[in-house]
Each structure stands twice: as structure tokens, then as C-alpha cells.
Amino acid sequence: MDKAIRKNILKKYSLNIVLLLLGFILIQSLIVTGVLNSYAKQMIILVFINMILTLSLNMATGFLGELCLGHAGFMAIGAYTAAIFTKNMPMLPPGLAFFIGILLGMIMSGVFGFLIGVPAFRLEGDYLAIITLAFGQIISIFIRSLPFTGGALGLSGIKRMTNFPWVYGAFVFTLVFIICLMFSGHGRAILSVREDSIAASSSGVNVVKYKVITFVFSAMLAGLAGALYAHFQGNLVPTKFDYNYSIDIMVMVVFGGMGSMTGSILAAIILTLVPALLQGLAQYRMLLYALMLILMMIFRPDGVFGRKELTYDWIRQTYRKIRGRWKEDA
């Protein structure tokens, strides 16, 4: 039995593993050989951090179907927790301190996710949007006034540990975690709650439990992105994590398609790179952004991908279709 299982795993996942490795080798070799300049390197890291953020928000909003408007707040908790830890642990080897800092940041974000999720989901009705909105504001006020967060001036002198291998590793972890969770009985339970919570509960799904669990995971992954961001930027200012940033992340998820991981990843890439490339047109940025969203709402209200994913099956079918059409023409 277990032998068959092992064979099954290899067959199912070998292609994915190879692709993920190739992606890493490709980008890393471009960096090491100096093809990419330091600006490009920074953009890549930022893109990966945003991909982790969109994937995590997509979990709460796309898969669970709950509107969360305070995602930057969870990111802030992860960022500050990890940064304060690494700053106070100079005796540890930097890599180890960073790793522990990330874990602590994720745990702390998860704790806050739990504290918010339990009351929000036990109430009947959609309170999460309002509660998370308030939470995002409160967190940034707290950060500004607490003694150990550097106040409004911010926290500086954080060791710049986040490089490409770290963000790539974190991204792969996030992706694999979400995929393995969603393609399981637990994932089906999460989706069933989104689809019809009354039917889910009369099919035996503990709706409140799955809402809280998913929300906590979502918060933890936002904390992961925050911890990486802190050690990428080297300093943290509370204004970074305000309402606008939460909305930015939400826009990415909506743009890609709520409930599509492919969409979240693609949207994070496009909506991080395009504004950066349009830096010269900074005053038109918001205009272009708004225009794009309006066009989106008109032509693809469910986002670029809707709830679809780019899968091998999809590629295979499309390839066959195209080849078939090609043969007909010939």
C-alpha cells in the first residue's frame, strides 16, 4: 500500500517539482551572473512578496468567500514581530535569527487572526469586513504609539536578510501549502462553506471552525510576507501598512480573479511591475489604475481568471484544440 502511495506521489508531483526547481535556477543564475541589475533584483523580491500576499488574501476572500479589508494589518504584525526579534538577537547566527523571526511573525499574525476570527465568525452575518477594516486602522495606531515599535518615525536598522532564495522558498512554501490544503477533504470543506454554508453544515461541516482556521492561515501567510518585507526594506514605517495597502492587495486579488491562485500570482506580477515601470507617469498612475479596474468590471467582472486555474489538463486540452484547428486549416 505505502509503496503504491510513494509511486503515486512521484508520478503526480515530479513535474511540478522540476518546474519549481527550474524557475529557481533560471532566476538565481540571472542574478548571480549579474544579468539583472540591483533594481531588477529588488523588483523581483517585491513581486514575490506580493505574490505571497495575494495568495494569502485569496485564501480568505476567494476560497472562503469572506471579505477581509485589513490584510496589511496582519502583514504589519508579522513584519514588526520578526524585525523586533532579529534586532534583539544579535548573538544568534543571522540566518537562524531570521528564520525564527519569520516563524514568530507568522505565529503572532495567526494569533491576531484567531482573536478577530472567533468573534467575527460566531456572529451571524458579514461582520468580517467591518471588523478587519477597524483592525487595520487600530494596528497602525498602536504601532505609532507603542514604545518598542519605533513610533511614527519607524523601526530602522533591520538586517537586510531577504534575498531571492528566501522569498522563493517562502513563495513555494505558500503555494504548496495552499494547494495541498485545498485539494483535500479540508479544502473541500472550506469551499463548501463558501458555496452554501447551510448545506455545508447539514452535510456535517463545522462552518465556524473552518472559517476560523482558514482565516488564521490567511493571516499567518500575510505575516510571512510581512517578515520578509521587513528584512528586505531594512526599515519599517507605520504608514506603509495603512488602509491603502490593504486595498492594493484586495485589488490584485480581484483583478486576478477571486478564487484563482493562477490569477493571484499573475495579478501580483502585473500590478507590481506596471506601476513601477510607470514611475515617470506617477501623476497618472491612479488614473490608469482606476481606468483599468473600470474596464475590468465591464469586460471581466470575475477577474482575469475567474475561479479557473492554469493546469496541465487545461494546457493539454488547449494544445489539442489549437493543433486540431491547425490541421483543419491545412
Partner 1 sequence: MALLEVKNLSIFFQGLKAVHDVSFEIAEGEIVGMIGPNGAGKTTIFNLLTNVYEPTEGEIFVEGKSTLGQPAYKMVDMGLARTFQNIRLFKDMSVIDNVKVGFHHKGRYSIAEAVFRLPPYWREEQLYEERAEEILDIFGMGDMANLPARNLPYGAQRKLEICRAIASGPKLLLLDEPACGMNASETQELMDTIRLVKDRFHTSVLLIEHDMNLVMGICERLIVLNYGQVLAQGDPEEVRNNPEVIRAYLGSEGDPNALGC
Residue ranges binding partner 1 (CB under 8 A) = 1-2, 5, 8-9, 177, 180-181, 184-189, 191-192, 195-196, 198-207, 213, 259, 307
Residue burial 10-34, b: 16+ Cβ < 10 Å; e: rest: eeeeeeeeeebeeebeebeeebeee
Distance in Å, CB of 191 to partner 1, minimum? 6
Indicate the residue type of 237.
V
Side-chain-facing half-sphere of 177: CA atoms under 13 Å: 16
Min dist. Cβ of residue 7 to partner 1 (A):
11
Per the document, the length of the chain is 330
Q: How far is the CB of 302 from partner 1 (least distance, A)?
A: 11
Which residues touch 317 (CB under 8 Å, ≥6 apart)? none
DSSP letter for 60, please.
I
Nearer to partner 1, 242 or 302 (CB): 302
Nearer to partner 1 by C-beta: 31 or 258? 258
Q: How far is the CB of 207 from partner 1 (least distance, A)?
A: 7
**How many Cα atoms sit within 13 Å of 244 on the Cβ side?**
4
Measured CA distances, 54 to 9, 40, 84, 181 (Å):
28, 21, 25, 17
CA distance 223 to 174: 12
Least distance CB 198 / partner 1 (angstroms):
6
Q: Per the structure block, which three cell numbers stand in for 204?
A: 456535517
Identity of the residue, 70 or 223, whose beta carbon is nearer to partner 1 in the bound complex: 223
Residue linked to cell 525564527: 100
Is the CB of 188 or the CB of 316 nearer to partner 1?
188
126 vs 196, which CB is nearer to partner 1?
196
Residue with smaller CB distance to partner 1, 179 or 292: 179
Nearest approach, Cβ of 122 to partner 1 (angstroms)? 12
Q: Residue 38 is which amino acid?
A: S
Give phi and psi for 143, each to the nearest 5.
-60, -40
Which amino acid appears at position 304 of this protein?
A: V
Nearer to partner 1, 76 or 190 (CB): 190
205: left (phi over 0), alpha (psi -120 to 50) or beta: beta
- Could you tell me the three cell numbers for 31? 542574478
8 Å CB contact between 226 and 76: yes
Provide, rounded to whole angstroms, the least separation between the CB of residue 264 and partner 1: 17
The rounded distance, in Å, linking the Cα atoms of 271 and 138 is 27
Q: Which is nearer to partner 1, 9 or 281 (CB)?
A: 9
Minimum Å gap between C-beta 308 and partner 1 is 11
